[in-house]
Amino acid sequence: MSDNDAAESDGTTEGDSAEPTFEAAEYADGTVTYPPHTVSPNGAERVGTVDLREYEGRVVTWTTSTATPPGVREPNTLAIVEFEMGDEYDGPPVRALGQIAERGEAGRGSDGDEGDGGEQFDVEIGDRVEPVYADELREPGAGIREPESQAWDGFRFRPVE
């Protein structure tokens, strides 16, 4: 699987369930990364995948961007989220960068409503968050990148009530 294929797997369907997964890669040395890479940070080969929908995350940091590129919502609140991988995991932190969800989008890992296209949740450093699927994070083709070169769906984050 290429790096681009790996990126596209974020939000692809799992089996016949048609349920999108938040796919990270697991490697022979036990480490997990998101997005997936060809080998682990230590050079170990990929041996499987981990669905990050199964894990809760905490906000490491966040920003609200008010000057966004073509095809991106404005404003655009983004966060770096670190997943709580459990006591048995001793690899490097597993994190993802993602948009903060809009009020009205559904909960953990679900195929959420479109939301109201309006107000984004407020978050602070340390807040607990969960992933929310969105079928289009930005408008394909509006920016410089070739629309067919990558996937445009994925997971936003919303605070855990």
What is the binding site for another protein (CB under 8 A)? 3-4, 7-8, 10, 33-35, 41, 60-73, 76, 78-80, 92-93, 95-99, 125, 137-138, 143-145, 149-154
- Tell me the C-alpha distance between 9 and 85, whole Å: 20
Q: Which is nearer to another protein, 115 or 154 (CB)?
A: 154
DSSP character at residue 161: -
Residue partners of 136: CB distance under 8 A and separation at least 6: 152, 153
Q: To the nearest whole angstrom, how small is the minimum distance from the Cβ of residue 158 to another protein?
A: 14
Pick 48 or 69: Cβ nearer another protein: 69
Work out how close the CB of 96 gets to another protein at its nearest, in angstroms, rounded to a whole number. Answer: 7
For the bound state, the minimum distance from the C-beta of residue 88 to another protein, rounded and expressed in Å, comes to 20
Helices (H) and strands (E) in the chain, counts: 1, 10
154 three-state secondary structure: strand
